[in-house]
Structure 1
């Protein structure tokens, strides 16, 4: 199945169709392709590409992928028979212009503006990758850690206020998505 509106493309590829929860917000300009699952109250913001033709992409509930981001995955390769799916948990914040490629973002992970997360990398819950950082292949950010730089390195542990700020950001984006969806429906 291929469903295209002038402002959004949802495309089946290689026998796989995107599965998008009815409560998810898909902003104009998005391209969602192949073996993609998007959970309840998640939001894919303006001009994002979520492309899963060689593996799968799963985006959990209340997660936001902000404007201009690209989410991709990697297929099987020598030494990696399962390839690298991109698995994103619940309540995840992904900043503007982020590149996620074959990585895992656990529940409540945070990825800052213009950051890159590469194959096999993992960001655990309540952990943060700073704006502009590059988390290279196979690296892992543990719970409540902040990493920054290119390549990214540990900077410090996050305090309760930082973790609470991330949770507030999730709630903000759920409500903001509802406001944008209503405005788009009005025309």
Structure 2
């Protein structure tokens, strides 16, 4: 896994976190215990700190960057789905950012909140806990219930187990 220092600040990865070999971490990145960073992810903390809290998972080809606020944080057991852009914001504990969603500068995503796939959370927007935000821009906010609630309830555990499987069995294949 490529880890890069930038202006004297280097990523800090807990030994019990799993980082895919094709993920790239640059600068002041903190990855806590049990977190997983998947294939193709780029986490670039050159303008501030990015913290991936315990048990959180950042899925394939997502990009996280920090700018003006100085800290971007993904909460404990939160999920950032495939191909998301998370920029200079706070993602609450056990929140789920759906595939292809965009969460922009200064946004605050509440605890156990689902941002629907493809949604765009505009700068400075606060999405309350235990809700679902839909649309681009994400203006429709409804209570977290039904299938969406089940998805939020179980996603972190599924990715904890899957990260352990990858850590135990991934092998680079020599094409020769």
Give secondary structure in 2 for the equivalent of 1:147. strand
- After superposition, where does 1:73-152 map in structure 2 within 5 Å? 73-75=66-68, 83-152=69-138
1:138-174 CA deviation, whole Å, 9 max, x = no partner? Answer: 0011011111111111241112653343131100100
Gaps of 5+ in 1: 1-7, 76-82
Gaps of 5+ in 2: none
TM, length-normalised to structure 2: 0.93
TM, length-normalised to structure 1: 0.88
RMSD: 1.5
- Match of residue 40, structure 1, among 33, 36, 40: 33
Aligned length: 173
Q: Is 1:170–2:170 an aligned residue pair? A: no
The Cα shift of 1:14 comes to 1.2
1:162 and 1:98 mapped to 2: Cα distance?
18
Contact 1:106–1:124 (CA under 8 A) maintained in structure 2: yes
Q: Is 1:68–2:54 an aligned residue pair? A: no
Which residue of structure 2 lines up, in the alignment, with residue 56 of structure 1?
A: 49
